[in-house]
Amino acid sequence: MNDRVMQFRVGVMVLATAIIAGILIVLFGDLPSLVQRTYPLRMNFSDARGVTTGTPVRKNGILVGRVANVALDEKGGVNVVADIDSTVPIYKDEEARISGSILGDAEISLVPGIIQPQREKVGQGDIVRGAAARNPFDVFASLEPKLGLALDSLVQASESVNRLSANLDRTLLNPENGDRFQTLVKKTEKTLDEFSLAMTNINAIVGNSAAREEILDTIGALPEVIGELKSTVKGIGTTVEAADRNLRNLEGLTRPLGERGGEMVAQIDKTIGRLDTVLQEIAAFAKALGDSQGTLGKLVNDPKVYDELAMAVANVNHLTLELRPIVDDVRVFTDKIARHPEQLGVRGALDRRPAGIK
């Protein structure tokens, strides 16, 4: 092999290496950012662990940019600036989330929030809020105490199961408890037989078409019965309200009686005293009436006194009849005098003619 062939092969190898290096730079290097337009996206995180210059920014799993700058914020948190492809729009409702792998690599994902009908794009001075996902190691470290408690609880449960198994073994396998276990088995069989008999009876009742129709009719009549029961309860409530109202009215009537009870008792006592006096006077009058020596007694008991009294009444009646014409004459005379006083005199008084006077 001569030197010219060797130089040709070396030149071909160098050219191929340069072409491969260029392709790798185009695919994985910063060359696309030099030929493609981007715009800055400002994000703020409370913790930006694992984020450095060149950290990929993805949207819906697609690479849309890379982090260009990471700096601490004076007000707290971390400010991250990423160069985003100019053809990819970022909206204000989206949230930046940092997710990391077990190897420590981090990436920023733009997750859409509540999508409104009119979505607004992020402006030049807007800052997208960010949140950091927890590291798997941190999650495992936070779960370690809980896992320890869970393992302790599992151990305690296992010990309880072991104790229960030992108690069952002692109960079932102990020769002294053999009769008790047999008795328990017999009672269980008897209970199952009775349950089977009860189910058979129920099946016989339900299986009868007439009984089933009566049961269905009874169930269908339940709403009406319940409605009548509600009406009855409502009527009872109305009656109770009326009784309560009457009791209140009765209380209004008895309250003044209770307040004037002493006065009314005193008046009743006084009235009873007066009634006693009247009764005593009536008794004295009855005694005097019954006494034959007294005036009233003679009037009631002596016939002679009664006859004389009757004769006196008859004389008074006769005298009244004789005085009636005189009274009539006096009435006529006074009427004439009242109407024609000029006729006053003996002639005028004795003249019986009407003379126009009525």
Q: Which of 195-204, 284-293, 298-307 has the highest mean pLDDT?
A: 195-204
pLDDT value, residue 90: 87
pLDDT value, residue 358: 46
Residue 122's closest CA among 112, 131, 132?
A: 112
Q: Is 353's pLDDT higher than 80? A: no
Q: Is 33's pLDDT higher than 80? A: no
Among 76-85, 266-275, 294-303, 313-322, whose mean pLDDT is lowest? 294-303
pLDDT value, residue 299: 61
pLDDT value, residue 256: 73
pLDDT tens digits, one per residue of 220-240: 888 888 888 888 888 888 888
Fold of 36-133: Elongation Factor Tu (Ef-tu); domain 3 (2.40.30)
d(CA 275, CA 150): 100
Q: Is 151's pLDDT higher than 70? A: yes
Q: Tell me which of 129 and 25 has the higher pLDDT.
A: 129
pLDDT value, residue 357: 46
pLDDT value, residue 235: 84
Helix (H) or strand (E) holding 73: none
> Which residues sit opposite 130 in a β-bridge?
96
Q: Tell me which of 202 and 17 has the higher pLDDT.
A: 17
Q: Is 13's pLDDT higher than 80? A: yes
Give me the residue spans of the domains in the chain. 36-133, 208-259
- Report residue 46 as tokens: 């409370």
pLDDT value, residue 186: 79
pLDDT tens digits, one per residue of 163-220: 887 777 666 666 665 566 677 777 888 888 888 888 887 777 766 777 777 777 788 8
* Crossing angle between the packed helical segments 178-207 and 209-259, to the nearest 10 degrees: 100
Q: Is 160's pLDDT higher than 70? A: yes
- What mean pLDDT is reported for the chain? 76
Q: Where are the alpha helices (DSSP H) in the chain?
A: 3-28, 31-35, 136-173, 178-207, 209-259, 261-290, 295-301, 303-339, 346-350
pLDDT tens digits, one per residue of 110-144: 888 776 667 778 777 788 887 766 655 565 566 66
